[in-house]
Amino acid sequence: MLYVSTASGARIPALGYGTWRLSGTEAYDGVRTALDVGYRQIDTAQLYANEADVGRAIRESSVDRDDVFVTTKVWRDFLDRDGILRTTDESLAKLDVGPVDLLLIHWPNADFPLEPALDALREVQQAGKAKYIGVSNYPSALLAKAANHVELTTNQVEYHCLLGQGALLSEARARGIALTAYCPLAQGGIIADPTLQEMAAARGVTAAQIALAWLLGQEGVMAIPKSRNAGRIAENFAAQDIELTADERARIDALPKDGRTVDPPFNIPWDAPAL
C-alpha cells in the first residue's frame, strides 16, 4: 500500500475511497466493500449527508478502527467558531467512530474571516476531536495564507489527468502539505480519452487505473476515487501496483489540463490550469 507523509506528522494511505453522492445503502455497501478490498482511507463530509452510513460501515467492518484513516469536512455555511464546533460534534455523533483522523474546511467562504475559522478548526484538534486538520478547494495563494496561520495536513481539490494544479502542487510541496485529488477520474471523463485508452490496452488494465497511477506516482499526492461498483472499487485499488514509465507520464502530462468538472456558483477564482 502506498502512503503519503506530511510535515504535520501524518502518514496517510495514498489511495482512499470517496463517498460524494453516495447515501444510504449505497454509502454503507461502498465503504464495506472498499474496506474489504483493502482501502484504509475513507472520505466523507457534512454536505454528503452520509456520515451515519459511513460510520456504521466502518464500525461493522472487520477492520480495526485504528487502521482506518477517516476524513470529514465542515460545510462553508458554518465557518464561524460556534458553527465549526457545533457541526463537528454533530459529525462525530453521526459517524460514531471516535475522533476523526482529519477535519477539513470544505470550501472557502469570504463571508467568514479566514483566521477565526482556522482557529476554531485548531480548537477542535486541540480538544482531541480531530487528529489533523486541513482545507479543501483552496487555491495556492489562499493555501499559503492559511498555512501561515495553522499547520495543515492536506488541501483536497479536483485534480486529474485533464486538470492541472501546478501552482498548488508547488505551494503544497514547499510546505509539506499533501494534495488530495477528488474526482480523480474527472467524473468518468478520462475513460474515453484516446491516449489513456491506448496506454491501458497496452498494459491490459483500465484507463481509470492508468489515470490513478499517474496521480499516485506524484510526490505528496493522494486520490479518493468513488464507485458504486464492487469490481471497479477493486480495480481502482489495484492501480497502486502500476508504475508508469517516464514516457507514459510525459504523454499524460501533455494532455489538455483545463477540464474542470466541479465549478459551483460560489467557487472562487482559481490558479491558471497547468501541470
Tell me the one-letter amino acid at 194.
P
Residue 247 · residue 153 · CB < 8 Å: no
For residue range 81-95, what is the model confidence (pLDDT) as tens digits? 999 999 999 999 999
With cell 464492487, the residue in question is: 230
At 183-234, the pLDDT tens digits run 999 999 999 999 999 999 999 999 999 999 999 999 999 999 999 999 999 9
Assess whether pLDDT exceeds 80 at residue 272: no
Is the pTM higher than 0.85? The answer reads yes
**Local confidence band at 271 (pLDDT 50, 70, 90 cut-offs):** confident
Residue positions annotated with a catalytic role:
48
- Domain residue extents for the chain: 11-253
Q: Which CATH architecture has domain 11-253?
A: Alpha-Beta Barrel (3.20)
Closest by CA position to 128, among listed 162, 154, 100, 157: 100
pLDDT, tens digit, 9 for 90 and up, residues 108-153: 999 999 999 999 999 999 999 999 999 999 999 999 999 999 999 9
Q: How far is CA 37 from CA 7, 57, 63, 81, in A?
A: 29, 14, 11, 38
Asked whether the predicted pLDDT for residue 57 surpasses 90, the reply is: yes
| pLDDT computed for residue 10 by the predictor | 98
* More confident: 271 or 73: 73
Separation between Cα atoms, residue 189 and residue 206, nearest integer Å: 13
What is the tens place of the pLDDT at every residue in 171-183? 999 999 999 999 9
pLDDT at 274 over 60: no
Residue 126 CB neighbours (<10 A): 10
CA contacts within 13 A on the Cβ side of 186: 22
